[in-house]
């Protein structure tokens, strides 16, 4: 998958980089690169996933009670 970014007329490089970062974030590419940087055991992945789900459920329950 190739992402091409062309500068618009009178657009600064900083602005183009900001657009590129937004595209990469929307696609989830940055997150997958960070996740795949180091090997993680399957049991550790499952533990992290479970902890994240617990936090998410706790915050949902808390907002529903209010």
Domain that holds residue 32: 13-65
Domain count, the chain: 1
- With b for 16 or more beta-carbon neighbours within 10 A and e for fewer, the 38-55 pattern comes to eeeeeeeeeeeeeeeeee
Q: Is residue 25 part of a domain?
A: yes
Ramachandran area for residue 6 (φ above 0: left; ψ -120 to 50: alpha; else beta) = beta
* Per-residue pLDDT reduced to its tens digit, 8-65: 999 999 999 999 999 999 999 999 999 899 999 999 999 999 999 999 999 888 877 7
Q: Is residue 4 part of a domain?
A: no
Q: Is residue 7 part of a domain?
A: no
Q: Is residue 22 part of a domain?
A: yes
Residue found by looking up tokens 């209010």 in the block: 66
Q: Is residue 40 part of a domain?
A: yes
pTM of the model: 0.56
The pLDDT score that the predictor gives to residue 50 is: 97
């Amino acid at each position: 998958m190739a992402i091409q970014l062309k500068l618009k007329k009178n657009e600064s490089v900083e602005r183009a980089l900001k657009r590129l970062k937004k595209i990469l974030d929307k696609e989830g590419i940055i997150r997958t690169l960070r996740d795949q940087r180091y090997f993680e055991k399957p049991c550790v992945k499952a533990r992290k996933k479970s902890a994240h789900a617990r936090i998410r459920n706790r915050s949902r329950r808390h907002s529903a009670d209010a």
